[in-house]
Structure 1
């Protein structure tokens, strides 16, 4: 957890919701109902401008799956899509990012799989009023070596979602969940002047996520090739029967 999620808001709407500027430069590919690792995803980030002045909050596109600055190649090993809140300030891959490069990953909701006697049943977790969820995250910059003499190195910006112990309805599906931050914590998490946010890394108060509901969805979401609003829709579970054969397990 979190291995798949959905984001359907475009950068302009996200900019309005998070009081930010749209910094995607028209590169947004459209709604994604089945975000998978290594996809380009929108984040909310706040940085100090190079010429001074007040911090500026923007919507940016980055690759999901953090690549540490010292990595030899961004394709080495599985994508680092999650960072545990309990150890993020200690693990070398995330420690510096947790102190200096924090961001928010907006989402309509996320998918989680619950083992059953027959198969893993996917569920979708989202706020009951449809509001955008702000998942705590960190980002990193990996510099791609120049492809030819005299060329400039190219930055690859990547991110990982912070996870914590599950609370509320989500705990019935899986023991972990994204660290969803309430609106009044966004400023502290994004503040580039802060290097420590231990109080924000604590497991969320159940009251703060009381509005998040989970419902079963189609196993079509298991396949990375499937993408559409129907993936988020509630289905009725069968009492029994053979496991599906058309889709791969997540």
Structure 2
């Protein structure tokens, strides 16, 4: 699975990564900027997502991590749907509609995974060797809520999930699942509304990765409230 990640990027580089200059109309500058440097993004928190806007051009919008289906009655369901398995995403009721119409890319500079050794779990920071950002395949949803102005949650909630696949040879010594990472033409095809969902299965297979490394780090990252560069510090 992918249960924690980080993003450390400038707005200009983020827009360049996805070939867009637009920010989603539902985001505000302060919220957008607050998502650009995050060391420990956890479920239910917001991060930036790239998706196609109304004019079918890529836009960047902060969304809540943990997909909340449009039919959900309880927002807590999102905490259980931070990942979607690529093997079953086309059939699962919670994901199949988004898989057909609302695919997205989730930028990251790295993600965290824990390797179990006996009763202990050692956290690893998995990132590209040059620390450049990459894009994970995702799905997004829009939940429209009814109710008066005094409700705690906003009337509209945008949320996302990250697709995972069986671990490749790089990840299998650490964990049996990994996020689906897309780039170049594959990333563009994933976003394209004209591509039928049935033609996407080849994109979300457990391909081998190049230029990635897994660095053992301290337990600082274990606590989601820790939001500092120390989350990335390698074990001495």
**TM-based fold match above 0.5:** yes
Distance 1:86 1:157 in 2: 24
Question: Could you tell me which residue of structure 2 aligns to residue 3 of structure 1?
Answer: 3
Deviation track 1:136-187 (CA, whole Å, cap 9, x = no partner) reads 0000111111315xxxx82211000000011132221001000011222111
C-alpha distance in 2 between matches for 1:65 and 1:87: 17
1:68-107 alignment runs, 5 A limit: 68-76=69-77, 78-107=79-108
Contact 1:5 1:35 in 2 (8 A): yes
Q: CA deviation at 1:76?
A: 4.2
Residue 43, structure 1, aligned to residue 49, structure 2: yes
SS in 1 for 2:74: coil
Secondary structure class of the residue paired with 1:146? coil
Q: Is the 8 A contact 2:65 2:78 kept in 1?
A: no
Matched residues in 2 for 1:61 and 1:12: separation?
16
Instruction: Give the number of aligned pairs.
Output: 225
Listed as ranges, the matches of 1:19-168 within 5 Å are 19-23=19-23, 24-26=27-29, 27-28=31-32, 29-30=34-35, 31-49=37-55, 55-76=56-77, 78-147=79-148, 154-168=155-169
Q: Which has the larger radius of gyration?
A: 1
Distance (whole Å) between structure 2 residues aligned to residue 136 and residue 44 of structure 1:
10
Tell me if the contact between 1:168 and 1:210 (Cα under 8 Å) persists in the aligned partners: no
Contiguous gaps of at least 5 residues in structure 1 = 50-54, 237-250
Give 3-state SS (helix, strand or coil) of 1:78's partner: helix
Decide which moves more: 227-236 or 177-186: 227-236
Query: Which sections of structure 2, spanning at least 5 residues, go unmatched?
Result: none
Over the aligned positions, Cα root-mean-square deviation in angstroms equals 1.8
Give me the TM-score of the superposition, normalised by structure 1. 0.85
TM-score, normalising length: structure 2: 0.89
Counterpart position of 1:200: 203
Instruction: Give the stretch that moved more between structures: 124-133 or 89-98.
Output: 124-133
| Deviations 1:74-124, CA, capped at 9 Å, x for gaps | 124733100000000000000010110000000011000011135100001
Q: How far, CA to CA, are the matches of 1:145 and 1:174 in structure 2?
A: 41
Matches of 2:28 and 2:10 in 1, distance apart? 12
